[in-house]
Structure 1
């Protein structure tokens, strides 16, 4: 067989490039997971400590109770003159059946001989195998101290064995124990309580981890909200710039190619290029203004302003080009930023002059400044684009009709809202469009 070529055996990996917004949202998920993981580690650590402490506590309490029983029983043991252990007083004085007390003595000599049973209850309430009993007693004798172990009874119930060594009365220091007393106690109730506590702590930890994840998700959302807003503004600005500058740039390229081929008059090319350059300058200016308004970097300079005089200046500076603009103004003082209000009124007037007339006919525009702080711009054109005013999207970007971008109306709406006013649109009495800009009075 021929070896496969490297091109056929090569594994191709496709990586998807994430957008900045997707990266920020992925960062939010990572922050939430890290917050939840940190909380889970801390809570699990405390839960393990609490469960372990409870497990040790109930065993210590049970050992202390059984130690009191064995100490009392050791006090009742008697050693005769021959050194033999006498357990009759122990059996006569205290009941050794429950809790069961077993006395084991160490046989003489050395080796691993089993302990001798000197006393065992006749009817013990708990019974374990003799091997478990011997193992617990031998461990206490070897260690020369009390020993407690967990075992099961012959019928399968959990118990705890407690072995306490004792010494002969004449024993000297360092001598081995004479024997050991082994007692036991059932642990079913304590283990059940411990299991309930374990499940309770585990459930509480799970709830707290979920709550911590939810709180972390909310906090991370609040933390990245400004970043998402900035990214959306940046993306909107880039989309506006790309959308609005594509057509005039293509027109300039077409004019340049036409001029190079010599198919048209150079004066006409320059005139058209100048108009396109002016239009592109206005677009760039509008885009920058809208971006500053959206990002909050445009600072409002609020001051008392003669609205009628400002509108009069805007009307005087507007390029009429055969159109007729009628101004009706009352003396009105508002609190606003002069530059922004001038731009908003200029955009409304420019929109009326551009779209408020039929093709080839001059525009008839009426601008009214009322004493309530409103500026009304009416035209006699074809009216508002169908459906936009009803949908409430007339002031969004790219929503204006007639081939324009809608930035002028969008900026005017932003200016109105930034001053605490509003901008509304509706049909005019003559069938055209009517825009009302309202600003707060001084």
Structure 2
């Protein structure tokens, strides 16, 4: 199994970030859901028990003692104790018997279950609670309260109250399902959001990796030919098959070209990576263009400049390189094979540098991709126009190409102006 590529490792990191984000969010959602369900369960159970406690206390208040010292209970046929259904047990804790119970109870519970809860309350001398099901499938809450009539100090009986909690329990179950469904939906949403955030987080790394690979591809592509030519010249010189002066002259030209290529590659890579930040300052664009034209060897070609005084806010080194690249492109491609280039450069008061040539022009199908690397014709690296476009964008301007009235290509480099003299 081959080791993962750098891009593969970055994508794997994105998946891990997404998974970690999703798991963390899911754990938080589940924790909050569990707290909400528990709080609702405690709430409705507490409300039911509070109602039963009130009912039991009312029943205890209505107990009285007869002439023979026996506990008297109101007539259950009066219907006051039907709902919640109340049952009175009296006797010693180990021998409780039913003294009175509801005449028409709203719920029917197996007597054995009621008696078992009463025995448990009497044995512990404390309140006992339970939930049971009726034969017809209803859920019932049982509440048993032992009592000690004065002046005695032992349990003399137990009052058991029962009420139907089917609706309350069903509402709690529905709430639980709703919360579970909401958690599932929110988990899916957080997974999607986590994937988007992870993709955005690793995008700079992938972009930097792509830029690195593009730089290496550019360097290998563009340096292969001059490197092979240098090797051929060296082999020719060693064999003595050519004049040493001519070999050295050609070697110097190739080494100069390689130096320009390396410089161009590094500039473009730094511009793409954002490592080369323009140091903006006010400068005379017309003087800069005239200086670039003066420093560029014409080699028999004709270059004319019409410049209006204008001040722009730009990085002088980067802008000089962009203008120089446009001029080099016009001198290289702005003429017929074997002919002489005739280039006109115009500097307008709005900060636009126009470079016109009388060459074959740019085919319409190549206009869109002209500023990509390796899109220039033979004899150049194809980086000049790409760098010029990047410089224009870094200054908040633009570089476009149209057809020239002279039949060739017209390049327009626009740079924001500062002031007009």
> Structure 1-normalised TM-score?
0.84
C-alpha distance in structure 2 between counterparts of 1:34 and 1:262, whole Å? 68
Query: Do the aligned residues in 2 keep the contact of 1:377 with 1:435 (CA within 8 Å)?
Result: yes
C-alpha distance in structure 1 between counterparts of 2:313 and 2:52, whole Å? 88
Deviation at 1:303, TM superposition (A): 3.2
Aligned residue in 1 for 2:410? 434
Q: How does 1:13-92 map to 2 (within 5 A)?
A: 14-20=1-7, 22-79=8-65, 84-87=70-73, 89-91=74-76
Residues 97 and 302 from structure 1, CA distance in 2 versus in 1: closer, same or farther, beyond 3 angstroms?
A: closer
C-alpha distance in structure 2 between counterparts of 1:123 and 1:333, whole Å? 102
Aligned residue in 2 for 1:292? 270
Aligned residue in 1 for 2:224? 246
Query: Do the aligned residues in 2 keep the contact of 1:99 with 1:184 (CA within 8 Å)?
Result: yes
C-alpha distance in structure 1 between counterparts of 2:71 and 2:312, whole Å? 112
C-alpha distance in structure 1 between counterparts of 2:81 and 2:293, whole Å? 114
Structure 1 residue 187 corresponds to structure 2 residue 165: yes
Query: Which of the residues 357, 382, 389 maps onto 2:335?
Result: 357
C-alpha distance in structure 1 between counterparts of 2:26 and 2:85, whole Å? 45
Q: Which moved more, 1:402-411 or 1:74-83?
A: 74-83
Query: Do the aligned residues in 2 keep the contact of 1:96 with 1:121 (CA within 8 Å)?
Result: yes
Query: Which of the residues 245, 260, 277 maps onto 1:267?
Result: 245
Aligned residue in 2 for 1:96? 81
Give the secondary structure class of the aligned counterpart of 2:384: helix
Query: Do the aligned residues in 1 keep the contact of 2:76 with 2:101 (CA within 8 Å)?
Result: no
The number of residue pairs the alignment matches comes to: 418
> Where in structure 2 are there 5+ consecutive unaligned residues?
none
Give the secondary structure class of the aligned counterpart of 1:402: coil
Deviation at 1:286, TM superposition (A): 0.7
Give the secondary structure class of the aligned counterpart of 2:282: strand
C-alpha distance in structure 2 between counterparts of 1:127 and 1:337, whole Å? 92
1:298-347 C-alpha deviation (Å, 9 max, x unpaired)? 34333333333322222222122232323333444333322222211111
Deviation at 1:409, TM superposition (A): 0.7
C-alpha distance in structure 2 between counterparts of 1:15 and 1:84, whole Å? 93
Deviation at 1:231, TM superposition (A): 3.3
Give the secondary structure class of the aligned counterpart of 2:337: coil
> Where in structure 1 are there 5+ consecutive unaligned residues?
1-13
Structure 1 residue 383 corresponds to structure 2 residue 361: yes
Residues 90 and 254 from structure 1, CA distance in 2 versus in 1: closer, same or farther, beyond 3 angstroms?
A: farther
Alignment RMSD, CA only? 2.8
Deviation at 1:218, TM superposition (A): 4.8
Query: Do the aligned residues in 2 keep the contact of 1:327 with 1:368 (CA within 8 Å)?
Result: yes
Residues 152 and 372 from structure 1, CA distance in 2 versus in 1: closer, same or farther, beyond 3 angstroms?
A: closer
Query: Do the aligned residues in 1 keep the contact of 2:79 with 2:104 (CA within 8 Å)?
Result: no
1:196-241 C-alpha deviation (Å, 9 max, x unpaired)? 3223333443444445445544554554444444333333322222
Deviation at 1:52, TM superposition (A): 1.0
Aligned residue in 2 for 1:408? 384
C-alpha distance in structure 2 between counterparts of 1:95 and 1:107, whole Å? 26
Query: Do the aligned residues in 2 keep the contact of 1:307 with 1:369 (CA within 8 Å)?
Result: yes
Query: Do the aligned residues in 2 keep the contact of 1:289 with 1:411 (CA within 8 Å)?
Result: yes
Aligned residue in 1 for 2:146? 165
Aligned residue in 2 for 1:140? 121
Structure 1 residue 374 corresponds to structure 2 residue 352: yes
Aligned residue in 2 for 1:105? 90
Query: Do the aligned residues in 2 keep the contact of 1:307 with 1:332 (CA within 8 Å)?
Result: yes
